Amino acid sequence: MIQKTPKVLLLEGIHTCAAERLRSVGYYVEAEGHSLSGQELVDRVQGFDALGIRSKTHMTEEVLQKLPQLRAIGAFCIGTNQIDLEYSNKDATCVFNAPYANTRSVAELVIGELVMLARKLGDRSSAAHRGVWMKSAAGSNEIRGKVLGIVGYGHIGSQLSILAEAMGLTVLYYDIIKKLPLGNARPVDTFEELLQQADFVSFHVPETPETKGMMGAGELGLMRKGTYLINASRGTVVDIPALSAHLKNGHLAGAAIDVFPKEPASNKERFESELQELENVILTPHIGGSTEEAQAAIGLEVAESFINFFEKGSTIGAVNFPNLDAPPVEEVPRILNVHLNTPGVLGKINSIVSAAGGNIRRQFLSTDAHIGYLIMDMGRSDVDRVASEISQLETSLRTHIILP
């Protein structure tokens, strides 16, 4: 029950900085360049306390059931669809990801696209490659002094806002939540207002029922003639046939699209879109967040989550677990207990502690619909006995001791 040096297995070629960081605190780490599945995955993960994966390793209920020792899974990426979050919650396996490590990469891509669209760089470059000289100032503009309308002023939208102001743009934004404007950016009251005022509209919203198709024919019609649209958020946000029509009839002067309603599953699959061949349209294969820097940042962020989890019991940033932070383990042992969230559990745990003549230094508890998570620092007591009795409660799912 006393936690030993954590053993971590990293699959799918996770950036080497993750293994380096984990080894720097003494963890045992093995790394593989590929993904695994089914029984092969189960066999390889046996004996490890934590597993790092990217998008290709599927942690299904069937796989998780056979890995009772596994305490944490790190999705070294943004999405967590490859993991059965509901089962891993009930099973008390804590799942971490790194949702914001590629924020800056997306914001930088959009900055590049603003200039590319305003100068028709995509078309001119490919023409030059084909031997066609397209020198002309007509329809080419500086972005300085133009209005950028940002839809969704979250992590990416607000970073973009700062970068865009530094390039001389005026920034307006629309968000459903009241957000503090950065620099000189200005919120607008309605989405429609933003569409009517902006020279460039850039989407940075999540995929929700409200954002699905939020940019349809009616909304595109509200944009001023000769303006530009950028979407590097989610493929369902913009109605592609409607966008295509507004580009073909010249209402919009260009668009940069990084995400699509239907994207190829791998680089081997062919990509089809009705935006192909249209003038001044930049199409990119969902690479907004795909940079070496973002991969390194993801590696470090998830490695740090593992370290906080094993050293302190912290679950901050976990996607399927009650989020709880705690100070470092000092002087006295710490008991971590994950239990079924039913009434009276804490009372039973406290009775065990008092019967053992123990002294609780501090306790932190957080719950969700299925489980409760307790972090408890114990002074003056037989911590092994207390933890063992707690682990035998029928509500207990996992119990560990971290020694100072």
Size of the site for ligand NAI (CB under 6 A): 32
Determine whether 286 is an active site residue: yes
Of the candidates 15, 71, 124, 234, the residue annotated as catalytic is 234
> How far apart, in Å, are the Cα atoms of 317 and each of 122, 235, 305, 320, 375?
39, 25, 7, 9, 16
Determine whether 234 is an active site residue: yes
Helix residue ranges, H only, 139-271: 155-166, 191-197, 217-222, 240-248
Residue 357: CB minimum distance to ligand NAI, A: 48
Whether residue 84 contacts residue 60, with contact meaning beta carbons closer than 8 Å, is answered with yes
Residue 378: CB minimum distance to ligand NAI, A: 38
Residue identified by tokens 């790092």 is 52
Residue 196: CB minimum distance to ligand NAI, A: 16
Helix residue ranges, H only, 186-344: 191-197, 217-222, 240-248, 292-312
Long-range contacts of 349-354 (CB under 8 A, 24+ apart): 349/374, 349/376, 349/390, 349/393, 352/386, 352/389, 352/390, 352/393, 353/378, 353/381, 353/386
Q: Quick one: CA torsion of 375, 381, 384, 389, rounded to 10 degrees?
A: -70
Instruction: At 351, list the tokens.
Output: 């009775």
Restricting to residues 55-94, name those near ligand NAI by CB under 6 A: 78
Binding status of residue 119 toward ligand NAI by CB under 6 A:
no
Determine whether 30 is an active site residue: no
Q: How many CA atoms lie within 13 A of 320 on its CB side?
A: 23
Residue 328's CB is within 10 A of a number of other CB atoms, namely 11
The DSSP-derived string for 273-289 is -TTTT-TTEEE--S-TT
Residue 382: CB minimum distance to ligand NAI, A: 46
Q: Which of 152, 254, 313, 333 binds ligand NAI (CB under 6 A)?
A: 152
Instruction: At 23, list the tokens.
Output: 């080894």
Binding status of residue 108 toward ligand NAI by CB under 6 A:
no
Of the candidates 263, 274, 279, 293, the residue annotated as catalytic is 263
Instruction: At 88, list the tokens.
Output: 């891993």
> How far apart, in Å, are the Cα atoms of 117 and each of 111, 135, 226, 231, 372?
10, 16, 11, 13, 51
Q: Rounded to an integer, what is the distance from CA 52 to the centroid of its chain?
A: 15
Pick the closer one to ligand NAI by CB: 208 or 354: 208
Residue 210: CB minimum distance to ligand NAI, A: 4
Binding status of residue 326 toward ligand NAI by CB under 6 A:
no
Q: Which of 80, 102, 314, 315 binds ligand NAI (CB under 6 A)?
A: 102
Q: Which of 27, 48, 76, 100 binds ligand NAI (CB under 6 A)?
A: 100
Bridge partners for 50 per DSSP: 8, 72
Pick the closer one to ligand NAI by CB: 81 or 249: 81
Of the candidates 251, 286, 361, 370, the residue annotated as catalytic is 286
Pick the closer one to ligand NAI by CB: 138 or 177: 177
Binding status of residue 219 toward ligand NAI by CB under 6 A:
no
d(Cα 342, Cα 347) in Å, to the nearest integer? 11
Q: Which of 258, 301, 304, 377 binds ligand NAI (CB under 6 A)?
A: 258
Restricting to residues 172-211, name those near ligand NAI by CB under 6 A: 174-177, 179, 204-208, 210-211
Binding region for ligand NAI (CB under 6 A) out of 23-31, 148-156, 192-200, 353-361 = 148-156
Site map (CB under 6 A) of ligand NAI, residues 268-307, x = contact? ------------------x-xx------------------
Whether residue 96 contacts residue 74, with contact meaning beta carbons closer than 8 Å, is answered with yes
Q: Where on the chain is the footprint of ligand NAI (CB under 6 A)?
A: 78, 100, 102-103, 106, 151-157, 174-177, 179, 204-208, 210-211, 232-234, 258-259, 286, 288-289
The set of catalytic residues is 234, 263, 286
